[in-house]
């Protein structure tokens, strides 16, 4: 069992983000991250299997649980996309909103680092699959479930992109609603 260290995951995440920003991802070692966090390398490896994992932590696991729970708990009369958006709003409030401050520098590092981009894409795919599974468990056919979950992910990405802008002050949940409207307007329903 890992020895208990107060908020070790959060301290390692913040230390890693600072070091990646200051000196680059490739130039940063696990030893440096642990030292900056005031923890040992051993504690690092109690929580993360590699440097690649440190910016991801358990957030996406918890996010997945909230999305699944909320889709299961949706009123039966909601349309699939509205079940998804309701779940995304809950995950925004319960999981993501408190990480608003580090979200922008975190995004910069991920986009500059191919192996973190791959990790991020895998995380997104896992969230989409979890939403699609939950929608199928609500009785949707597989094709509709995948489209609704994929549209949900797109809404989430568009909302996060706005959320990390320095001038943006609205909570993520509101930006999710806005992104749904934008997606509807971009896809349209009338022929050209």
Interface with its own copies (CB under 8 A)? 77-82, 114, 117-118, 121-122, 124-125, 143-144, 146-148, 150-151, 154, 157-158, 161-162, 179-180, 182-184, 186-189, 192
CA distance 89 to 66: 10
CA distance 91 to 99: 12
Min dist. Cβ of residue 124 to its own copies (A): 8
- Residue 92 or 132 having the CB closest to its own copies: 132
Min dist. Cβ of residue 90 to its own copies (A): 17
- Residue 26 or 115 having the CB closest to its own copies: 115
- Residue 36 or 124 having the CB closest to its own copies: 124
Min dist. Cβ of residue 81 to its own copies (A): 5
CA distance 142 to 86: 20
C-alpha distances (whole Å) from 50 to each of 4, 29, 47 are 19, 10, 9
CA distance 103 to 81: 26
- Residue 1 or 167 having the CB closest to its own copies: 167
- Residue 36 or 162 having the CB closest to its own copies: 162
- Residue 100 or 162 having the CB closest to its own copies: 162
Min dist. Cβ of residue 187 to its own copies (A): 5
Min dist. Cβ of residue 20 to its own copies (A): 20
Find, among 89, 58, 94, 75, the residue nearest to 156 by Cα: 89
DSSP 168: -
Could you count the other beta carbons within 10 Å of the beta carbon of residue 31?
11
Q: What are phi and psi of 86, to 5 degrees?
A: -60, -40
Sequence-distant (≥ 6) Cβ neighbours of residue 158 within 8 angstroms: 175, 179, 182, 183
Min dist. Cβ of residue 153 to its own copies (A): 8
């Amino acid at each position: 069992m890992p020895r208990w260290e107060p908020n070790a995951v959060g301290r390692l995440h913040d230390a890693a983000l600072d070091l990646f920003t200051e000196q680059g991802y490739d130039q940063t070692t696990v030893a440096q991250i642990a030292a900056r966090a005031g923890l040992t390398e051993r504690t690092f490896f109690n929580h993360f299997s590699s440097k690649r994992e440190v910016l991801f932590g358990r957030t996406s696991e918890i996010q997945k649980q909230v999305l699944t729970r909320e889709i299961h708990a949706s009123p039966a009369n909601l349309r699939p996309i509205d079940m998804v958006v309701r779940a995304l709003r809950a995950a925004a409030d319960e999981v993501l909103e408190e990480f608003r401050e580090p979200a922008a520098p975190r995004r910069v590092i991920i986009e500059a680092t191919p192996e973190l981009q791959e990790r991020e894409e895998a995380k997104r795919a896992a969230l989409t699959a979890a939403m699609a599974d939950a929608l199928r468990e609500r009785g949707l056919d597989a094709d509709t479930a995948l489209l609704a979950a994929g549209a949900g992910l797109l809404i989430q990405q568009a909302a996060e992109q706005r959320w990390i802008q320095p001038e943006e002050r609205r909570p993520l949940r509101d930006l999710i609603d806005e992104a749904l409207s934008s997606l509807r307007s971009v896809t349209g329903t009338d022929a050209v």
